[in-house]
A and B are shown apart, each in its own frame.
Chain A
Amino acid sequence: MKPQPKLDLYKLHKAEYAATRKPALVEIKPASYLAISGQGAPGGDRFTASIGALYGMAFTIKMTRKFAGQQDYAVCKLEGQWWSEPASNFDRLPKDQWLWNLLIRTPEFIKDDDLRQAVAVLLKRGKGEEVKRVRLESLAEGLCVQMLHVGPYEKECETIAVMKAFAEQQQLLFSGKHHEIYLSDPRRVPPERLKTILREPVRPS
């Protein structure tokens, strides 16, 4: 319904999002994100409210700029980092102890002032306090192993195992937060067809 965007960060950084069903090494350049973090099961109240706040902020910032005639850009897809403390036992932890950082990649020209203005507008409209937790974050992940996971989120461990074996072959170790990029919409796409890019930062072992 809408014309082609002027700026699409995923298209601009195509190589960083060109994952296939085979693991590959990719150099990820530093990037700016809108981010909101928390703890709890995916689909839980906290998680759902955080996604709403993140999207509310993303579109309020984008549309405020667009209304003012500044450069237009596409709001990127949802991404997330998942981890636990301590790091070693993520798979065995109950889901309500999972830690997450939800992300939407954002152009570098979006600054804290843009966020402050959007928070003020959304609070005035009666949105919850969650919007105040949305912040700008820069990630510099560097060298990563990436692979496309097709199927339910519960089966990601199988893909991660393939990625781990691939890293070990190259004398590399997982060295950062597990990062995933949601290419499909879980509200309508059946679990077996969900596409998710899995990303694991690595360093030499």
Chain B
Amino acid sequence: MAATQPLRLTETIALDPALAKAQKQSSDPGAAVVCMPAMSGQGTMRTITLQDYKRRLLRVLVHIQQHLDDPLGLQELAGRACFSPYHFHRIFKGMVGESVKEHIRRLRLERAAGQLKLGTARITDIAFDAGYESHEAFCRSFRAVFGVSPSQFRSSTRNRITPTARSGLHYREGQPVNDFKATQPGGKNMKVKIEYREPARVAFMRHVGPYDEVGATWDKLLPRLGKDGRLDGDALILGICHDDPEVTPPDKIRYDACVTVDESFVPEGEIGVQVIPGGEYAVTTHFGPYQKLGDTYTRLLGQWLPRSGRELRSTPCFEVYLNDPQSTEPEDLLTDIYAPLQTKPNTLI
């Protein structure tokens, strides 16, 4: 299901009233965007396509290019594309090939390159415009993208090469973005199955802080449950990540360490109880170290999902740890990732 059909902004506006409204109101940064379900002209539900995902993401990309100097918050960007804030960043990264932060940084640098090429503004002013507080930091970032320092870029016409982004998205003064190339699923095919799950009651402890420090929370939770015989060979060990480590500062990341329990467990001290909603989930297995889980999330949400005809529910993903990291080499670790799906549209009719 490759995106072969070009998508032009004018067509998109005609097709999509929500986008038209977003465009009209785009001068007002606080404008609410009306979210429309995937509907056909007759008002019946139809399967959501890669084009739908692209169209929704384009609203965000247009907005970013027009508001490159504004603080662009997660809620607002996700809302413009009608994606749940839980999943927006991973869908964006998977489809565009870079995170929102990386995308904004790159566009600002490309704009700065244009200013270096054409204008006479001082480099420190251009650096400040690009969102950098120091000349050094700007030079470092600039060199990483363009291969030369800003002053070399300005003085030599030969070295003015702008690397091409795989998405085809670049900063063009006065030319609104009207299409992009969604990242193709690369490498081996991702094995994803759709699974219906009953709601799961879990005992959990919340960790707030860097992701690589969640071990301390597990070290408190597991002995307390284990001594009471609650790690009985049937209990599932799972984690709920409420935040994406790419966008949330490390000290604010929320992660719930969870173990499935029956009704006999009552909350005690730091250990609470929550119910993981039942319903349909897309499930894939991540093979290897936990540090690389993010890559598999990005492939599942940003590459598999837009081509699956499905949409996500606004509840967090969770991961089930299938083996014990204390006795398993990192490359042999197995983790199932569960992404919550909305009920398939055509089953509603």
Contacts and interface: CB of A to CB of B under 8 A. Distances in A.
Contacts of A76: 327
B71 interface: no
A77 interface: yes
Given A55-B233, A63-B231, A74-B327, A1 B226 contact: no
A51 B290 CA distance: 26
Interface in B209-224: 214-216, 218-219, 222-224
Interface in B294-328: 321-327
B285 interface: yes
Contacts of A118: 229
A1 B232 contact: no
A51 B218 CA distance: 24
Contacts of B257: 1
A34 interface: no
A145 B216 CA distance: 41
Given A1-B290, A66-B223, A188-B285, A74 B229 contact: no
Contact of B321 (A1, A62, A127): A1
Contact of B225 (A52, A63, A68, A183): A63
A59 interface: yes
Given A1-B321, A51-B233, A75 B227 contact: no
B343 to A, nearest CB: 27
B332 A124 contact: no
A187 B320 CA distance: 13
B324 A60 contact: no
Nearest to A60: B229
A189 B227 CA distance: 31
Contacts of B228: 121, 125
B233 A53 contact: yes
Interface string A45-59: 000000111111001
Nearest to A76: B327
B312 to A, nearest CB: 23
What bracket does the count of chain B residues touching chain A fall in?
20 to 34
What bracket does the count of chain A residues touching chain B fall in?
35 or more
A1 B215 contact: yes
Contacts of B28: none
Contact of A74 (B232, B233, B234, B324): B324
A75 B327 contact: yes
B239 interface: yes
Nearest to B228: A121
Interface string A93-119: 000000000000000000000000010
Interface stretch (A2-10, A152-160, A164-172): A2-10
A87 to B, nearest CB: 31
Most buried by B among A52, A56, A189: A56
9 contacts: A56-B233, A60-B226, A60-B231, A66-B222, A67-B223, A67-B224, A122-B229, A125-B228, A184-B332
Interface of B: 214-216, 218-219, 222-234, 239, 257, 264, 285, 287, 290, 321-327, 332, 334, 336
In order of increasing CB-CB distance, the 4 nearest A-B pairs are A63-B226, A52-B233, A67-B223, A74-B326
Given A2-B325, A8-B327, A52-B234, 9 more contacts: A51-B233, A52-B232, A56-B233, A64-B226, A66-B223, A75-B327, A118-B229, A125-B264, A185-B322
